[in-house]
Amino acid sequence: MSKIGNYIITGKIGEGGFGKVYAAEHEILGTKVCVKRNTFPSEEDVELLKYEARLLWQLDEHHSIPAIKDFFLLDEENAAMVLKFIEGKTLEELVDKKGPIHPEDASWITERLLGALYYIHCHGVVHTDVKPQNVFIEPRKRDIKLIDFGLASFKPTSATKPLGYTPKYAAPELIIKNPPTPETDLYGVGMVMLRALGGDINKRAFRDDTPEELVDFGNKLLLYDPKERPNWDKENLIETLSDIREKVFGRRHCGTPPKLKAVKGGGI
C-alpha cells in the first residue's frame, strides 16, 4: 500500500492520457480524498499538473468545482495533487451502464454544468474539454462536479492554441486549432446534454422522444460556428433552461427523493 504525505492510497479510480486518479485516506483524520498523479514521469507533465492545481486553487470556492487540498512535488518528474473525494459516478459511466437519463434529470445536470462554466468563464478560464467523462454526478446533492482542468486555458487570446481535446466531443474550432473561447465550452455542454439524453453523438442528433424545447436548446449550443452559439453576454442560459424546465416539467426544481429517474429503455 503506497503513501503520499499523510495520504494512504487505497485504490485506483481511473486513468486518462495525462493523469492517474486514486482513492486515498488521510492517515490521521480518516477522510477520503482523490489523488491525481501524472501518468508518465516527465518535467513537462509535472508543469501541467502544477498548472491545473493553480487553476483549481483559484476556482474551488464554487460547489461544482473540485476542492483542492494539497500538492506534492515527489521528484523532478513526478507530482501529485490531492482533491476532495467526489461521491458519485461520471455521466458517461451512468449512461453507459443504464442508458439515457430522464429529461428532467438531464436538465438539472445541464443547469449545474452551466453554472460551473459561468463561474470559471468569469474568472478567465476556458475548460476546453467538457465531456460526459468529466462530469461527475452527485444525485443526493442534486449537483455535479466538473473535473480535469489539465487542458484548460487561462485568459486565452487570438494567439492561444488548444492544449488538447477529445475528438469525439470537441468543438469544431478546437479541431482546426483555433483559440478556445467560452462558446467552446458551451458546445461541450450541448454534447453532454446529448449524451445524457441518449442521442446519437456521431450525428449530433437527439432522440425523437426528447422534449422539443430541450432539443432546440441543445441544438443552439451545437452550432458549428462559435459566433452563432449563445454566449453569456447575449443570454442568461441558466435562466433560459430554468424557464424550459418550468414549461416542460411544471417546476424549476426537482423534488425528493434524490434518485435519478429512468426513461423507457434506460435510466439511472
List residues with catalytic annotation. Answer: 129
3-class secondary-structure state, position 72 = strand
The DSSP result for 76-104, as a single string, is TTEEEEEEE---SEEHHHHHHHH-PBPHH
Q: What angle, rounded to 10 degrees, do the helices at 103-122 and 237-249 form? A: 170
The H-or-E segment that residue 145 falls in is: strand 143-146
Exposed, middle or buried by CB within 10 Å (0-12, 13-18, 19+), for 80? Answer: buried
Please check whether residue 99 is in contact with residue 91, taking contact to mean a CB–CB distance below 8 angstroms: no
Cα–Cα distance between 96 and 268 in angstroms, integer? Answer: 10
Torsion of the alpha carbons at 148, 163, 199 and 110, rounded to the nearest 10: 50
Cα–Cα distance between 184 and 236 in angstroms, integer? Answer: 16
Closest by CA position to 59, among listed 129, 131, 122: 122
If one counts every other C-beta atom within 10 angstroms of the C-beta of residue 257, the result is 7
Q: Percent helix, strand, coil in the chain (nearest 5)? A: 35, 25, 40
